């Protein structure tokens, strides 16, 4: 946390990175990020209002001296630098992505009418592979063919009533009612899961003390054939897992724990790649 004084009297603490934000701050920032994404506000307006949101204050019409006004805006500009470091921005498309947000959830639940809907645990450690596969397919489609409904679909896939098992059809029936949920929650979770997805696709993770590169599951020659539909790589690998019989048929794979399947996918894919490499190194007859 960054310590800063306003007017040499009021001391405030400001998060230096996204993980230092609390739930309210995160939701408020994401609500503003969505307004920027939809071009309701420009980038400078987003930064200034995000600072106010984090400080939990509203812009004041109080008359300030020239020196006080200069000091105020210098502080806003200084704190804006931290907000700017939370995101990766494409100014041409107004697209927003989180930076260095590796699975720590900021939204734990929300209530709609009489039902509480609960978020996935950190790292999606209790979710099924089917939830992940369905969400990834929607997200990749969204990047090619943007549709606001996709954010609500992803929210519905992962936010479930307590003890409810995931069923794709049941979850997607909630999309229309979820359109009444605060957009800061909806967009905030969408940014969260896309950041985590990008992390899995590009980084190594430690599981049981072993470093494994999960990116080979989603990006390797075994999955390089062209398809008119994005996301086919992870689905094709799931079918390959079903054919191996380790988790049972394809539906059993979908109902299995996400991380159990990913680790097994890694083993199967790595063995296939190693076999390919060995065959390439063998002298031709």
138 shares a domain with 51? no
226 shares a domain with 126? yes
Domain end, chosen from 46, 76, 98, is at 98
C-alpha to C-alpha distance for 97 and 114, rounded to whole angstroms: 33
- Average model confidence (pLDDT) across the chain: 84
**Residue count (the chain):** 285
Find the mean pLDDT for residues 181-187.
Answer: 97
204 shares a domain with 171? yes
Domain end, chosen from 98, 122, 154, is at 98
Q: How many CB atoms lie within 10 A of CB 45?
A: 13
C-alpha to C-alpha distance for 108 and 104, rounded to whole angstroms: 10
C-alpha to C-alpha distance for 154 and 143, rounded to whole angstroms: 13
Residue 218, pLDDT score:
67
CA distances (Å), 218 to each of 33, 72, 201, 234, in order? 29, 48, 7, 6
C-alpha to C-alpha distance for 259 and 127, rounded to whole angstroms: 8
248 shares a domain with 146? yes
122 shares a domain with 56? no
pLDDT at 243 exceeding the cut of 80:
no
Residue 118, pLDDT score:
97
- Across 5-19, 29-43, 122-136, least confident range: 5-19
226 shares a domain with 199? yes
**Which structural domain range is residue 201 located in?**
103-285
71 shares a domain with 207? no
Per-residue confidence at 257, pLDDT binned at 50, 70, 90? very high
Q: Residue 128 gets which letter from DSSP?
A: B
What's the pLDDT tens digit per position in 203-228? 677 777 778 887 777 664 434 333 33
29 shares a domain with 140? no
107 shares a domain with 247? yes
Residue 280, pLDDT score:
80
Residue spans of alpha helices (H) in the chain: 23-37, 43-55, 66-84, 129-144, 149-158, 168-172, 175-178, 183-202, 215-218, 232-244, 250-255, 258-281
Find the mean pLDDT for residues 117-136.
Answer: 94
- Across 13-27, 36-50, 148-162, 227-241, least confident range: 227-241
271 shares a domain with 147? yes
94 shares a domain with 55? yes
If one counts the domains in the chain, the total is 2
């Amino acid at each position: 946390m960054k310590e800063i004084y306003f007017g040499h009297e009021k001391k405030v603490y400001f998060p230096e990175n996204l993980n230092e934000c609390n739930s309210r701050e995160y939701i408020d920032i994401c609500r503003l990020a969505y307004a920027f994404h939809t071009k309701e506000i420009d980038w400078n307006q987003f930064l200034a209002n995000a600072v106010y949101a984090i400080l939990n204050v509203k812009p004041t019409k109080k008359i300030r001296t020239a020196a006080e006004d200069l000091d105020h805006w210098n502080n806003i500009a200084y704190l804006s630098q931290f907000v700017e470091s939370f995101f990766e921005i494409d100014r041409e498309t107004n697209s927003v992505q989180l930076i260095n947000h590796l699975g720590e959830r900021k939204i734990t639940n929300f209530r709609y009418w009489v039902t509480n809907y609960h978020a996935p645990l950190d790292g999606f450690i209790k979710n099924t592979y089917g939830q992940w596969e369905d969400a990834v397919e929607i997200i990749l489609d969204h990047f090619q063919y943007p549709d606001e409904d996709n954010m609500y679909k992803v929210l519905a896939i992962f936010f479930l009533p307590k003890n409810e098992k995931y069923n794709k059809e049941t979850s997607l029936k909630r999309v229309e009612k979820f359109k009444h949920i605060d957009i800061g929650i909806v967009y905030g979770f969408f940014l969260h899961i896309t950041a985590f997805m990008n992390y899995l696709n590009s980084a190594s993770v430690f599981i049981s003390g072993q470093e494994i590169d999960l990116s080979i599951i989603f990006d390797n020659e075994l999955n390089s054939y062209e398809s008119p539909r994005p996301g086919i790589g992870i689905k094709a690998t799931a079918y390959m897992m079903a054919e191996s019989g380790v988790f049972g048929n394809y539906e059993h794979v979908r109902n299995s724990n996400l991380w159990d399947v990913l680790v097994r996918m890694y083993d199967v894919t790595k063995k296939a790649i190693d076999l390919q490499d060995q065959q390439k190194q063998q002298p031709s007859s």
